[in-house]
């Protein structure tokens, strides 16, 4: 009898995200009889997720089954695929701390989940939990593939590959395909007619090619059209969030010659150019949404209350295909039918101008042999230089975690482009002290407390 795939969700209480992935999975014939193991530490959210999955199974009329677990190791036992989606410390208290403490020092942020002092703190909170999953996977499902959807993506992926190199893992984000869709919309071109190739690191990858297929089968470079549309005020078009016009990335396109894959609100805080003390004109000109992430968190929490009730009372839950890569990866590994995704993996020479051990985001071939990154070569030098400024922060955060050397937390903050543009060294040290103290037990024991006395 054919074996059914076993798909484990760690952090299954992220119900909306989990619903999208499970909906995608169950619509694929090769996966429609999967055993879906849901694990979360919040019993109420776990129960809500189980209700949603069982209604999806009923709506689609498939033979999949769902089980719930509060024990991580039991949920992982025998898994073929492990989907990880959680936020350690949640909106309250940890995200609030990541925003409010820096604000006292005049350091303002937009999203603070990937880089900067917010991203560093989130990495310190998150990586130990990911390592624990790796440990359990090696014990009960050593051949499983981890599909990791947690931020800070690059720090997480790098830290897993350093400590548990034998774990098969990929960090997944929808920014590459999502931004390509936005740009196609800005140019009024059907997304299906676009061809692109992107590479870099998570949230700072660039489209090395962005082209439109012509009637004769040839391809036309769309970069001149994007620049012209920006200069003439036709792009960016309004997006899903009126607080977040996409101007930062278009401006950077005119300076670098390439378009970056993650949103303008993110990119504004990965660089030192846009959020500056005493420069409200820049905030105004580029429409930079300060404190955007906390606003989204509050809106999501509010929205979920009504959504949870609707799911609970609904007879059917209709499902559309999402733009996430998870089901595509599972289908390719399970059936051998090849696909191409953009994944975050250990660089290993894929991008020759970036460090071998960093987490690179590159096109990957997926088939029965697993996830196979493709060779890119050297990036344009201006892109390499900008990406390295972010890699410096990631590398020092991973070093802090690997060596349990608290000094490297300060070094990581000191190297962050936005933090360094706003604060002096004493302020940075004091801010990190205060953040570590405020996070307390959310951090690993070695990271808590105050800094060592610095040599005079």
Q: What is the DSSP letter of 14?
A: -
**Catalytic status, residue 418:** no
Q: What is the DSSP letter of 447?
A: G
- Annotated binding-site residues read 151, 173, 203
Looking from the CA of 154 toward its CB, the CA atoms found within 13 Å total 29
- Annotated binding-site residues for substrate read 151
Given 4, 129, 174, 212, the catalytic residue: 174
Partners of residue 198 on adjacent β-strands = 207
Based on DSSP, count helices (H) and strands (E) in the chain, helices before strands: 17, 12
Token couple for 226: 């994007």
**In angstroms, rounded to a whole number, what is the distance separating the alpha carbons of residues 370 and 322?**
22
- Annotated binding-site residues for Mn(2+) read 173, 203
Buried b / exposed e over 241-274, threshold 16 CB at 10 Å, is eeebbbbbbbbbbeebebbbbbbbbbbbbbbebb
**Residues 190, 184 contacting (CB under 8 angstroms):** yes
Distant-in-sequence, close-in-space partners of 240: CB < 8 Å, separation ≥ 6: none
Buried b / exposed e over 205-231, threshold 16 CB at 10 Å, is bbbbebbbeeeeeeeeebeebbbebbe
**In angstroms, rounded to a whole number, what is the distance separating the alpha carbons of residues 191 and 182?**
9
Query: Pairing state of beta strands 145-148 and 6-10?
Result: unpaired
Query: Pairing state of beta strands 168-171 and 35-39?
Result: unpaired
Q: What is the DSSP letter of 379?
A: P
**In angstroms, rounded to a whole number, what is the distance separating the alpha carbons of residues 141 and 335?**
19
Nearest partner of 34 among 264, 334, 407, judged by Cα: 334
Angle at alpha carbon of residue 149, lines to 102 and 275, rounded to 5°: 30
Token couple for 432: 């990190």
Q: Which helix (H) or strand (E) holds 363?
A: strand 359-367
Residues with a catalytic annotation lie at 174
């Amino acid at each position: 009898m054919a074996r059914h795939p076993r798909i484990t969700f760690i952090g299954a209480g992220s119900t909306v995200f989990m619903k999208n992935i499970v909906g995608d999975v169950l619509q694929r014939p090769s996966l429609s009889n999967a055993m879906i193991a849901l694990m979360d530490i919040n019993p109420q959210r776990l129960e809500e997720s189980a209700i949603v999955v069982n209604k999806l199974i009923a709506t689609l009329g498939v033979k999949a089954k769902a089980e719930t677990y509060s024990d991580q190791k039991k949920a992982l036992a025998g898994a073929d695929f492990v989907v990880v989606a959680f936020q350690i410390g949640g909106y309250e208290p940890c995200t609030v701390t990541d925003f409010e403490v820096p604000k006292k020092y005049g350091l303002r942020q937009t999203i603070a989940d990937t880089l900067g002092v917010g991203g560093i703190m989130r990495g310190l909170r998150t990586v130990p939990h990911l390592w624990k999953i790796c440990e359990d996977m090696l014990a009960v499902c050593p051949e499983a593939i981890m599909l990791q959807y947690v931020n800070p993506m690059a720090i997480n992926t790098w830290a897993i590959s350093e400590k548990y190199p034998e774990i098969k893992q990929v960090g997944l984000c929808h920014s590459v395909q999502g931004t390509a869709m936005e740009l196609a919309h800005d140019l009024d071109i059907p997304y299906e007619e676009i061809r692109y190739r992107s590479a870099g690191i998570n949230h700072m990858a660039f489209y090395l090619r962005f082209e439109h297929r012509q009637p004769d089968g040839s391809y036309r470079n769309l970069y001149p059209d994007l620049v012209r549309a920006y200069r003439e005020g036709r792009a960016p078009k309004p997006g899903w969030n009126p607080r977040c016009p996409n101007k930062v990335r278009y401006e950077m396109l005119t300076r670098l010659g390439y378009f970056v894959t993650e949103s303008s609100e993110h990119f504004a805080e990965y660089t030192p150019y846009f959020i500056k003390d005493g420069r409200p004109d820049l905030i105004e000109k580029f429409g930079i949404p300060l404190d955007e992430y906390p606003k989204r968190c509050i809106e999501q929490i509010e929205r979920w209350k009504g959504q949870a009730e609707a799911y609970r009372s609904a007879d059917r839950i209709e499902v559309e295909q999402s733009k996430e890569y998870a089901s595509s990866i599972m289908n390719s590994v399970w059936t051998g039918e090849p696909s191409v995704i953009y994944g975050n993996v250990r660089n290993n020479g894929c991008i020759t101008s970036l460090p071998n051990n960093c987490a690179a985001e590159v096109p990957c071939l997926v088939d029965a042999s697993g996830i196979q990154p493709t060779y890119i070569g050297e990036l344009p030098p201006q892109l390499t230089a900008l990406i390295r400024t972010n890699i410096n922060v990631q590398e020092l955060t991973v070093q802090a975690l690997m060596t349990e050397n608290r000094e490297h937390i300060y070094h990581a903050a000191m190297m962050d482009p936005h933090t360094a543009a706003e604060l002096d060294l004493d302020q940075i040290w004091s801010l990190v002290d205060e953040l570590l103290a405020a996070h307390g037990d959310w951090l690993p024991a070695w990271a808590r407390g105050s800094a060592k006395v610095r040599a005079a």
